[in-house]
Every structure is written in structure tokens, then in C-alpha cells.
Chains A and B, each alone.
Chain A
Amino acid sequence: MAESPVPGGYFGRALVVDVSAGSSRVLPLPEQVLRSYLGGAGLGTWLLHELAPTGVDPLAPEAPLAFVFSPLVGTPLTTSAKFAVVAKSPLTRMLTDALASSHFAIAGKLTGHDAIVLVGRAAEPSVLMVQGSEVRLVPAGATWGRTAAEAEAALREEHGHHWQVASIGTAGERGVAYATISHDGRHAGRGGLGAVLGSKGLKALAVRGTTRVAPADPAGVLAAAKDLRARSLGRATAKYRELGTMGNVLALNALSTLPTRNFQAASFEQAPQLAAEELAEARSVTRSSCASCSIGCEHLYRDKGDRKVRMEHQNVSSLGSMCGVGDADAVMAASARCDELGIDTISTGGTIAWAMECAERELLEAPWLRFGDGAALLRAIEEIGSGQGLGPLLAQGSRAAAAVVGQGSIAFAPQVKGLELPGYEPRTMQAMALGMAVNARGADHNRSGAYEADLSGDLDRLSGGQAHVRGAIESEDRAAVMDSMILCSFLRKVFDDPFTEWAALLSLVTGWDLDAAELRATAARIVLAKRAYNLREGWQPEDDWLPERFLTQTLTVGSGRTAELTPDRLRAMVAGYYTARGLDPQGRPVTTH
């Protein structure tokens, strides 16, 4: 236990494990730090500032990889069983943080730590076992070379089911720049965290809880949990329960916001074949949910081999419409294969879509690689996983691959800061365009959900301006808090007055007297801390920008209106963002961490 009293919901310490030596130390986490950064993505950012050597190579032994829990983990609050994984990204070479969920979060926290940070490199492929403060390395053995799910199952079979495991697939072992870390079928997906774990010679981190954690006001938390659970079953989350995020596909297609053929179009004529509305009836669907979640957003579809495949909007847009593939079985097979290899579906689809366009333009010698060809999509994924053929090129992500291919292909590489764009078209969602341009993680829909502003009806989504700046900032701030305390973002619509309600929840758990104003300040602090980390690692103003394609090619929406995002318009929004964030005109924090 910590040496001095700590706030409810916390242990007040992180466990820092040197994998090279097989040793560990406790890093005290002062209350001021916890209150300033909460947990999850926020606390992970603080840890990176503290522990990562400046300019460190993301795959170097010294580069820290932080598994960060949150004050709400272990409470009965719905969707709170989540954890963040934070590191310097091998894909962007900036900060990346990704969330995953379920029992690993609870067991990891109940080792008695608010975070487990890994540094070093094991001498041989290993699995790190953390039970309380006891740390040991065991040989990865036969799990090396297997899928994350297989490794997880094998380790729990061998060591006992009270162990929870976060593992990588073979892509993480091979250093694919967008490899994921997986637990219970969920992925800390973006930015290549799996490659970072693999670079430490680790197949997996296994945790076993040994203690308990109590909130400051157990009765208050229980009452709040009951209330939140009831609200989580209402209409605000119906989309996730009934169809999952796949319910977005057709709607976004109708709004000309569905990335198609590497952003050469914004609606996909074969979208109905990939839509939940159609597939839900044709494919016997089952649902599941993370631990401690009452929403149950996860929808599984049967492929033609009768396998259950988890499908999300992002999988469908990245592996389907982005690649011009309308064959649902091919997209499901591609998605399943990404999960097996342990690679991010968004970056995989974006990179392959870029390669398809390169091949069609004859910039890349790959005549087999064509938009719309499901077999080609699957072959490209296999090559990424195996390191054969185009694999070594595509495993770097679209930005690095475009640097190799040259010939102007960077203009249509679908990335910001090296991170491939998610399934939202920035020209027809111009608040989202700003969000993707300035976000610390790169082109991202989790840390910046500014698409909500675009679709709110409160602004013209085709004509970005200062209202879009406000929308993007509000979205970033909300995400910063939700990803740090942590609650699932799918819960966001149940809150009528989010910052006030979140402050109340956190107050019940921690015992702090928090209010909305403090939480808003916390959100801004977290956003700026991420930016400050990137600045330290070499961020330049031109990194807050979109690829040339989006700024030179227009789209036409269904009404006949033209969607144009000019450089001047984006520049004005970025400048407005800098001003509103208190940054200098070059986007640098006036005061840093």
C-alpha cells in the first residue's frame, strides 16, 4: 500500500518494471498529480513526460510502455472497466494512447497500482507476470508466433484463469508499426502499441489482482452506479445495443461522409451490402459486452465459414469502402485476419487503400492490387503479417511507405502525423477536419469526436469556421476527461451536463470536491500535456495539417453542394484553435508540463 493516505479509487503509485533486469520499483504518484491528470490517458501522458527519455526511439528498450488504470476501475459504474496504454508511437513518433477494456483493467489495478510501466527488453521472448508487487518473467514459449487470442487462452490455461492477459499477435512480434495489444477480443488499437510491447521481447503482460480498492463514498458510488446503469439502457445508447457502430455505415454514406477508395469519393455504392441494417437480418448476430458494461455494443456476425466476426464501423469503412470492397464476406475475413495478426484495422485499411491507388497509378509494382478486389485486400493483409512481398513497405504505415515510393504519393496518403484517418470524410465534416489535424495522436476519432459537432445541425459541416473550432475543442475536452477517468465514450450521450456529472462521479469515488470548472481545466491540461510531449519529441507546426488531397480536391454532396476545404479555411480554423487553447501562433504551449 502507499505510504500515506491516498484519494479513494487510487493506490497512489505506479509499478515500473525493468524487463531487462526482471526488477521493479514503485513510483509514488502524488495526489496533486492524480488530481491533475486523473488516470488513463491523462496519467499516462504524465508518466511519459516523467519516464521517457527525450528523443527516445519508440522501439528502444528505454522507451516506456504504460498500462494505466483509472480511479473508476473496480467500481460498479458501468463501462468503467477500461485501461489505457500509452507510449511513444512507432507509427507517428509522437504520443499515442489507446484504450481497451474488460477484466484486465480490474485485475491490473488490483495488483495495487494505478499504472504498470514497462521499460527494457527481455533477453528472450517472454511473458511478464505481475501479481501484486511480485514481478516475474516467464518464457513465452509456444505462445510466441501465435495470435493474441491464442496466447491469452494458453497463458490462462497454463497459469490459471484468475490471470488476465494483454497480448500481441505476430504483427507485434514483427514490429508492424500499427500492431495492437489485445485483451479478451478488444484492442488497444491505434499507434502501434503492440510493436512497442513486442520490442521489449514480451508476448504479453499478465496480471493478477491481489488487493482491493475502495471509493471515498461507497454508498454514494453504488447509488450513482444504479442510476447510471438505468440511464445506459435508454435511447441514448440504443444504437450501440441494437446495431453497434456498424449502424453508422449507411447513415454516413447518405451524408457523403463515408471514405471511399482512399478518399477519392465520400459515398460507396456498395455500402448497403456492408450495412448493419442488412447484415443484421442476413447473419445471425450475437452480442457481447465488456466487463462492467451494461451497453453491450459488441456485435458479432457469422461469416460464410460460420465464424463469429466482430464488426465495427471503423472496420467496414477502412477495409470496405476505403478499399472499394463491397463483399461483406471479404471485409469480415479481412477484419478477422487483422484481429488474428494483431493490427489496427484503420491503419491497415488506410495503408492498403493508399497502396491500391499507388498500384492503379502505376507508382507501385503490384498489378494484383486493385480497389474493389477482396482477394487482393486479404493478400495485402497476409503480406503485412508475414513480412513477404509488399509487407515490409506497408507495415510502416502510409506516411513512411509514401516516403519510400515518392512520386507525390504522400499527397494522398490518408494520414495525419502518420496515423491513418478513421471513417470520416474531413471535407464534408469540417469540424472533424480540424479535430484530426490538430489532435496529438494524429488523425483520430476517439480523442477528437468533432464529427458530433458536424452532425449536430448547429453548424454548416461543409463550411468550416470558428463555430467548428469551438465544436472541436469541446469534443477534445470531453474525450480527455472520459479517457482519463475512464468511462466509455459510448456512454457520452446519457449525460445532460457532462462535466458537472463527471465531477460528481469523481468526487464520490475520490473524495475530492470537484466541480465542472476544475474538470474543464483538467481536460485542457491533459490536451496540452500531450501537445507538449509531442513538441518535445520534434513536433512541427506543419504536423497540424491535412494531406494535400483534402485541400485541393472537392466533393459534391447529394444536394449538389460542393464540399471544399481550402488551405485558407483550414489555416483559419487551426489558428482559431491555437488561440482558444492559449497556444502561440505556431501552436506551441505558452507554458508546458
Chain B
Amino acid sequence: MGTAKAGLEWHGSTLLRRTVGTLSRGLDGPVVVVRAPGQELPELPAGVEVVDDPHEGRGPLQGIAVGLAAVAERAPSAFVCSTDLPFLHTAFVRRVLRALADGAYDVVLPHVHGFRQPLAAAYATSLAPLAGQLLAEGVSAPKLLLDRSRTLVLDDAALLQDAALRAADPELASVLNLNEPADYAAARARPAPTVTVQRFGVLASGGQHGQRQVAAATLAGAADAVGLVLDRYVLAAVNGDQTGRDPELPLVAGDVVAFLSADAGG
């Protein structure tokens, strides 16, 4: 790519910011970024943890091992992904993690568009010691970890049996990563996801109530699309969840964004 992927611009935000924001929205547990030695990271939202990878150049298994170890005492499973998945959808994350929930498998491995996706997969955090052991043996690719684990492979059809994912990401663009400048340019040229925006209360004055469909990759983008500024008087909630005004909060296709007066209640 020629430049650090984490800091690549993405609709006024960065790729890494988008990825961790999407994971935060899709999960209840901690979100951890594994940082390579000396790596500079773009600004991250509050609550995202950064752990340092003590070794450089050991390949993706190293990052998986460090990340799983970082959350092993707090979560039984983790969704592991690279930073360069700008179209990752929360529905994809939930679909993959859900397949791990019953304990029958250690890994849920999407096999999409003809490729295995170990960096868009769910892992039992109990695999951290095995991953460490493989690294000590000089292994750097995830393949052996997958082979030695109880791995469930989900192909396109299996993934799309999930109605929510089928509606939100029918092309399974969630796994599209960016390896070359051309990939980035092509991805950047795609339209922002379509989301539904609704203004409430005083923000709906002048006939502005009712739902509108807009293209927006971030909360700021959605606000801008309907002529709002995320200042102290405005709050937003995505899909009826938490309220906030983080302009870089990533939006994904199908989101419903509510804008409301910051002075709710009374």
C-alpha cells in the first residue's frame, strides 16, 4: 500500500477508527487494537484499548495471539479482524460470533468469495496459549491454528442464511480488504452506506419530521446530509441505542439515526 493502512482517510475519519467503531457497535465486550512495535495509530475513541505487540514481522498469527491473550480473562470469544475492512458490517460480526456461542467450535472461519478469511473470523480466547505455542515453533500464518482447532467454516450461502446479514450486506462486502492503492481508490469511490435519518423534537421543526434516506459513512455525514451540526444542542442515537455526538461514529447500511435535542426529558 505504501502507507500505514490504519491511518488512511475514510469519509473524514480513518480506516482504523471505522473498524474499531464498527466493532464497538457490534459487540458488548472490550475492543482491543494490537499495535506493532513503533506503530503510530490515529486517534481512537474512548474505551478502545491498545496493546503492544512485542515482536515485529511475525505475521498475522502474532497479532491474533496477542489480541486473544489481551481479552482472555474478560471474554470467552473474540472477533478478530484486520484494520482494512471499510465495509465491515455489524451484522457480519454478530453472525460470525453467534456461531461460536454454543461452544461446539473454537473458530468460526468465513470462507467468502472463494477465500478463507482468518482476519475476519471469530476465535475462542482459550486458543491464546496454542497460538503462542505455534509462534514459539516458528509458525506465523494462522493456518495451523485453524487446523488444530475445532473450526467451523461458513461459506457465502451459510453466512447469508442470516436474515439480518442478508439484508444488510448481501454481497458480503464486509470482508473486502485493501491491499493495493487501487483497492483503496476503488473502495473510496463506492457510495457511502444508505442510512435512515429521523429528526425529533425541535430539530424537526419546519416540517423536518419523518424519515429520510441519506448516504453517510459517519454520524457527522448523516448530520450534514440533513443540515444539522453535531454541537452541544444535538444528540444522536443509532438504532435506538446509546446517545452521543461522536462525529466519526461509523455508520453501516441499514442504520437508523435519530437526531434529538440534547435537552431531552422534562
Question: Which residues of A does B touch, CB under 8 Å?
Answer: 235-240, 242-243, 245, 247-248, 250-252, 254-256, 267, 276-278, 281, 313, 424, 445, 449, 451-452, 455-457, 460-462, 489-490, 493, 557-561
B209 interface hit (Cβ, 8 Å):
yes
Question: Within 8 Å CB of A460, what residues of B?
Answer: 242
Question: Within 8 Å CB of A252, what residues of B?
Answer: 264
B239:A559 contact, CB within 8 angstroms: yes
**Contact A457-B239, Cβ < 8 Å, known A239-B261, A247-B202:** no
B177 interface hit (Cβ, 8 Å):
no
**What are 23 of the A-B contact pairs (CB < 8 Å)?**
A239-B201, A239-B263, A239-B266, A243-B201, A247-B201, A248-B265, A254-B237, A254-B260, A255-B240, A281-B207, A449-B266, A452-B264, A452-B265, A455-B262, A455-B265, A457-B242, A558-B239, A558-B240, A558-B256, A559-B239, A560-B239, A561-B28, A561-B241
A455:B264 contact, CB within 8 angstroms: yes
Question: Within 8 Å CB of B263, what residues of A?
Answer: 236-237, 239, 493
Nearest-neighbour CB distance to chain A for B92, whole angstroms, equals: 14
Closest 9 CB pairs of A and B: A558-B240, A457-B244, A247-B201, A559-B239, A251-B200, A559-B241, A251-B260, A277-B209, A451-B265
Question: Which residues of B does A touch, CB under 8 Å?
Answer: 25, 28, 94, 198, 200-202, 204-205, 207, 209, 233, 235, 237-246, 256, 258, 260-266
**Contact A451-B200, Cβ < 8 Å, known A255-B243, A277-B209:** no
Question: Within 8 Å CB of B244, what residues of A?
Answer: 457
Distance of A149 Cα from B230 Cα, bound (Å): 44
Cβ contact of B205, chosen from A242, A250, A489, A560, cutoff 8 A: A242
**Contact A251-B209, Cβ < 8 Å, known A242-B202, A461-B242:** no
Question: Within 8 Å CB of B260, what residues of A?
Answer: 251, 254
B202:A490 contact, CB within 8 angstroms: no
B200:A277 contact, CB within 8 angstroms: yes
Nearest-neighbour CB distance to chain B for A285, whole angstroms, equals: 12
Distance of A559 Cα from B238 Cα, bound (Å): 8
A251:B240 contact, CB within 8 angstroms: no
B240:A254 contact, CB within 8 angstroms: yes
A255:B237 contact, CB within 8 angstroms: yes
Question: Within 8 Å CB of A457, what residues of B?
Answer: 235, 242-246
Question: Within 8 Å CB of B262, what residues of A?
Answer: 455, 493
Which of B209, B245, B261, B265 gathers the greatest number of chain A CB atoms within 10 Å?
A: B265
Distance of A456 Cα from B245 Cα, bound (Å): 9
Question: Within 8 Å CB of A236, what residues of B?
Answer: 233, 263
Question: Within 8 Å CB of B201, what residues of A?
Answer: 239, 243, 247-248, 250-251, 276-277
Question: Within 8 Å CB of A267, what residues of B?
Answer: 240
A277:B243 contact, CB within 8 angstroms: no
Task: Closest A residue to B266 by CB, please name it.
Answer: A245
Distance of A178 Cα from B173 Cα, bound (Å): 58
Question: Within 8 Å CB of B243, what residues of A?
Answer: 255, 455-457, 461
Distance of A235 Cα from B98 Cα, bound (Å): 44
**Contact A451-B233, Cβ < 8 Å, known A251-B201, A255-B240, A276-B201:** no
A238:B202 contact, CB within 8 angstroms: yes
B265:A247 contact, CB within 8 angstroms: no
B242:A256 contact, CB within 8 angstroms: no
B265:A254 contact, CB within 8 angstroms: no
**Contact A451-B264, Cβ < 8 Å, known A239-B202, A277-B209:** yes
Nearest-neighbour CB distance to chain A for B239, whole angstroms, equals: 4
Question: Within 8 Å CB of A276, what residues of B?
Answer: 201
Distance of A255 Cα from B239 Cα, bound (Å): 8
Cβ contact of B200, chosen from A254, A445, A449, A455, cutoff 8 A: A254
Cβ contact of A558, chosen from B204, B205, B235, B241, cutoff 8 A: B241
Task: Closest A residue to B91 by CB, please name it.
Answer: A560
Task: Closest B residue to A450 by CB, please name it.
Answer: B265
B240:A247 contact, CB within 8 angstroms: no
Which of B25, B204, B238, B239 gathers the greatest number of chain A CB atoms within 10 Å?
A: B204
Question: Within 8 Å CB of B245, what residues of A?
Answer: 457
A449:B265 contact, CB within 8 angstroms: yes
B200:A247 contact, CB within 8 angstroms: yes
Nearest-neighbour CB distance to chain B for A144, whole angstroms, equals: 35
Distance of A236 Cα from B233 Cα, bound (Å): 7
B200:A250 contact, CB within 8 angstroms: yes
Task: Closest A residue to B207 by CB, please name it.
Answer: A281
**Contact A489-B241, Cβ < 8 Å, known A247-B200, A277-B200, A277-B201:** no
Task: Closest B residue to A266 by CB, please name it.
Answer: B240
**Contact A255-B265, Cβ < 8 Å, known A248-B201, A457-B245:** no
Nearest-neighbour CB distance to chain A for B132, whole angstroms, equals: 32
Task: Closest A residue to B239 by CB, please name it.
Answer: A559
Question: Within 8 Å CB of B202, what residues of A?
Answer: 238-239, 242-243, 247
Nearest-neighbour CB distance to chain A for B223, whole angstroms, equals: 14
Task: Closest A residue to B259 by CB, please name it.
Answer: A251
Distance of A449 Cα from B266 Cα, bound (Å): 8
Question: Within 8 Å CB of B238, what residues of A?
Answer: 559
Task: Closest A residue to B258 by CB, please name it.
Answer: A254
Distance of A32 Cα from B243 Cα, bound (Å): 43
Task: Closest A residue to B164 by CB, please name it.
Answer: A560
Task: Closest B residue to A267 by CB, please name it.
Answer: B240
Question: Within 8 Å CB of B264, what residues of A?
Answer: 248, 251-252, 451-452, 455
Distance of A240 Cα from B258 Cα, bound (Å): 19
Cβ contact of B266, chosen from A255, A490, A560, cutoff 8 A: A490
Nearest-neighbour CB distance to chain B for A49, whole angstroms, equals: 30
Task: Closest A residue to B90 by CB, please name it.
Answer: A559
Nearest-neighbour CB distance to chain A for B254, whole angstroms, equals: 11
Nearest-neighbour CB distance to chain B for A422, whole angstroms, equals: 9
**Contact A254-B242, Cβ < 8 Å, known A236-B263, A242-B205, A277-B204:** no
Distance of A559 Cα from B205 Cα, bound (Å): 26
B235:A455 contact, CB within 8 angstroms: yes
Task: Closest B residue to A488 by CB, please name it.
Answer: B266
Question: Within 8 Å CB of A237, what residues of B?
Answer: 263
Question: Within 8 Å CB of A247, what residues of B?
Answer: 200-202, 261
Nearest-neighbour CB distance to chain B for A556, whole angstroms, equals: 10
**Contact A235-B266, Cβ < 8 Å, known A457-B242, A558-B256:** no
Nearest-neighbour CB distance to chain B for A141, whole angstroms, equals: 38
Nearest-neighbour CB distance to chain B for A297, whole angstroms, equals: 8
Nearest-neighbour CB distance to chain B for A379, whole angstroms, equals: 30
Cβ contact of A251, chosen from B25, B239, B246, B258, cutoff 8 A: B258
Question: Within 8 Å CB of B265, what residues of A?
Answer: 248, 424, 445, 449, 451-452, 455
Question: Within 8 Å CB of B240, what residues of A?
Answer: 254-256, 267, 557-559
Distance of A410 Cα from B128 Cα, bound (Å): 49
Distance of A277 Cα from B205 Cα, bound (Å): 8
Question: Within 8 Å CB of A489, what residues of B?
Answer: 266
Question: Within 8 Å CB of A313, what residues of B?
Answer: 266
Distance of A490 Cα from B264 Cα, bound (Å): 11
Nearest-neighbour CB distance to chain B for A489, whole angstroms, equals: 7
